[in-house]
Amino acid sequence: MVDAPSRTTVQALRVSGHVLGPCGSCAKEERALVMFEDYGWGVECLACGHTERVNQVEYVEDADPAA
C-alpha cells in the first residue's frame, strides 16, 4: 500500500499575500505567496529564502491593526 502525498494548505492575507504561520526551516513568520513557472502556488520565507510548494491557498481578510 502506497501512502498518498499529504496536501498542504496555507492561509494568506488577501491583499498583501503575507502567509500566516512560521517557516518550516527557520521558524520566522515572514512568508509570502509565490507562483512557480507552471502556475503552481508556493510559499517563500523572506528571512531565509526557503521555498516550498502548496496545494491550496485559503485567503483571509487583512486584520485591522487599529482594532
pTM of structure: 0.79
Average pLDDT over the chain, rounded to whole?
89
| pLDDT top residue among 36 and 65 | 36
- Asked if residue 22 is part of any domain, the answer here is yes
For residue 62, is pLDDT > 80? no
Give the chain's domain count.
1
- Asked if residue 66 is part of any domain, the answer here is no
The pLDDT of residue 37? 96
Cβ within 8 Å of residue 62, ≥6 positions away: 13, 14, 15, 16
For residue 65, is pLDDT > 70? no
User: What's the rounded Cα separation, in Å, for the pair 60 and 4?
Assistant: 28
- Asked if residue 51 is part of any domain, the answer here is yes
Query: What is the mean pLDDT of the segment spanning 13-41?
Result: 95
The pLDDT of residue 67? 45
